Amino acid sequence: MLNFILRRLLEAIPTLLVLTMVSFALMHMAPGSPFLTEKGLPAEVLANINAKYHLDLPIWEQYLIYLGNLLQGDLGPSFRYLDFSVNDLVWPGLLVSATIGGWSLLMAVTVGIATGMMAALKQNQMADYTIMTIAMMGVVLPTFVMAPILVLLFSIYWDLLPAGGWNGGQWQYLVLPVVAMGTHQIAQISRITRGSLLEVLHSNFIRTAQAKGLPYRVIIMRHAFKPMMLPVVSYLAPLFVGVLTGSVIIDVYFGTGGIGQHFVNGAINRDYSMVMGVTVLVGVMFILFNALADILYGVIDPKIRY
Amino acid sequence: MIKTKQALTNFAEQLENKPLEIKGRSLWQDARRRFMRNKAAVLSLVVIGLITLFAIFGSYFSAFNYEDIDWVILSNPSELGKPSFNNGHYFGTDQLGRDLFARTVQGGQISLLVGVLSSSVAIVIGTLYGATSGFIGGRVDMIMMRIVEILSALPFMFLVIVLMLVFGRHIILIFVAIGAVSWLDMARIVRGQTLSLKNKEFIEAAYACGVVPWRIVVRHIVPNVLGIVLVYASLMIPSMIMFESFISFLGLGVQEPETSWGALISEGVKTMELSLWQLAIPLSFLVVTLFCFNFVGDGLRDALDPKER
């Protein structure tokens, strides 16, 4: 088991290297230099700036320096906000994004599984149809549509919750972003859970359990629950991607100041180091989470040999 | 009992005198029948057809061009720009007084084009890559699949945005960028199918006839995985449309004066308190289209997936 976990984590290393290389290469292909202004700087000043940011070295040396800094957790200086490093800007944003993302993940998993199970247990009844129709709408409505609709209803028409901002993470400011981000995921998980539980309920070992005369509750919770969870667990990685991409929309729309906002602002302002920093950070989280989901799957599924 | 015997005899005689014509049904005929029975899917297909026609020919029904500004309306777009048949702005105008009907048509062209073209790019690359990898097998297969694994662990949404930042926001680039990064799942699926196909007799027969491996892949393997490819394609198009809308919503997609449904929604959101129709119209088009593609995809999966039989 420990071997399996270690191997899976080691396998993430080449992926991480490719990620940094791709980001770095893209950053260097970008046209123009961040320090080219309309007036043009005197040649000596430009040379000094280039030397300061190591832009005068050959590209592979620059990459090694970048990689070395990255290993020490340094994402480099922001090219746009000259007094700040990318770290100064990104870490507070990461906290915000993690709070919103964490709550919506939690909500997606609990509500999604509960509704999915409910639909499966009442298959082809009113409850099933209702849940699945709502879920289909949740699948189709993207986050960037959900967010404005929620704001329109709860902030503008009924004036119940603030339409944006962060304000130190008070719960009123959390509700709409979390719900907007979670809806799509709830719907997906609900659909997966329903399909999976239906398949499990038709299998032989459930029939055996019924034949033994086990109470219904025990059959569902003790026998059907674990195999039902397998497809749900394998959806965890895409779920996490959804939360990361969703956070871009959420941060921009609600102005919560998360990493998504920094990413988009960086992209619009051509603050390359910021964009790269966020990409690498997100990539690292993404790769580690993928590994984690794999390991979890290995723990749950007895058929996987490691 | 005697009656049954009589009936059997009759049947036997009938067979002898006039042999029944038994027609075999191909996989595709079977699938079509099953698909046609699925009312939601057929209806969705019709709606998609109508929306496509709207996107292609819609501009002939509007007196306005998608970039022209109606200067009268510009003075007070929230009041004067409401949808009305009197001034010819069937869907109203946007905040700059541009006709929303014409813009929705134009946005639809971009959205659908992105969906279809980038899916095609993804499918062609994915199918060929997966089929090649599965067919050659061995060490090549291992390396090719390892590459797919590494690539699929990268956060592509972010990389696509970076790509567009670096190379400029050109619409063709959006197709290619999105398509080129979404072929990974397709490659995996096709590889799995190819592995199970490549030891079948008809492949062996092709070998015996002296067909070169490349032609075996293209002529014998690929046609046999088309069913599953079609299912995934139909589910990929809506996610591509969504992806494009997502990028446009952030203001990083298509560039003015061109537009897409995502860009229209993003503009509509800014003024939704005053002029709700600017959000509601492009939004309904996007949601209905996504809905329909999902239903068609589900219908195709039920019709073509061997597990369902």
Q: Name the minimum distance, in Å, from the CA of B65 to any CA of chain A.
A: 27
Q: How many CB atoms lie within 10 A of CB A173?
A: 20
Tell me the shortest Cα–Cα distance from A43 to chain B, in angstroms. 25
- Does A282 touch chain B if contact means CB atoms closer than 8 Å? yes
Cβ contact, residue pair B162, A267, below 8 Å: yes
Chain A: closest CA distance from residue B1 (Å):
39
Q: How many CB atoms lie within 10 A of CB A187?
A: 25
Q: Supply the mean pLDDT for chain B.
A: 80
Going by C-alpha positions, the residue among A180, A89, A241 that lies closest to residue B159 is: A241
- Residues B113 and B237 sit within 8 Å (Cβ to Cβ): no
Report which of B236, B288, B251 is spatially closest to residue B114, judged by C-alpha positions: B236
Instruction: For residue A306, give every residue at least 6 positions away whose Cβ sits within 8 Å of its Cβ, in sequence order, or none.
Output: A1, A3, A4, A7, A298
The residue count of chain B comes to 309
> Which of A16, A140, A249 would best serve as a mutation to test chain B binding (most B beta carbons within 10 A)?
A140
DSSP-assigned beta bridge partners for residue A85: A77
The helix/strand/coil state of B199 is coil
Q: Does B279 touch chain A (CB under 8 A)?
A: yes
Q: Give the DSSP letter of residue B60.
A: G
- Which amino acid is present at B144? M
For A96-150, give the DSSP string. Answer: HHHHHHHHHHHHHHHHHHHHHHHHHHTTTSHHHHHHHHHHHHHHHS-HHHHHHHH
CB pairs under 8 A between A and B: 98
Q: Which of A19, A24, A144 to mutate to test the interface with B (most CBs of B within 10 A)?
A: A144
Per-residue pLDDT of chain A (306 residues; tens, 9 = 90+): 778 788 877 877 888 888 888 877 877 776 655 665 666 677 777 777 777 777 677 778 888 888 888 888 777 777 666 677 777 778 888 888 888 888 888 999 999 999 999 998 888 888 888 888 888 888 888 788 888 888 888 887 887 777 777 777 677 788 888 888 888 889 989 988 998 898 888 888 888 988 988 888 888 888 888 888 888 888 887 788 778 777 888 888 888 878 888 888 877 777 777 878 888 888 888 778 877 877 887 777 776 655
**Measured between alpha carbons, how far is residue B259 from residues B105, B250, B254, B273 in Å?**
9, 13, 6, 22
Please judge whether B279 and A23 are an interchain contact, meaning their C-beta atoms are less than 8 angstroms apart.
no
φ and ψ at residue B72, rounded to 5 degrees: -65, -45
CA distance, residue B294 to nearest chain A CA (Å): 8
Inter-chain residue contact B154 with A26, CB threshold 8 Å: no
For chain A, positions 6-35, list CB contacts with chain B under 8 A: 12, 14-15, 18-19, 22-23, 26, 29-31
Helix (H, G, I), strand (E, B) or coil at A19: helix
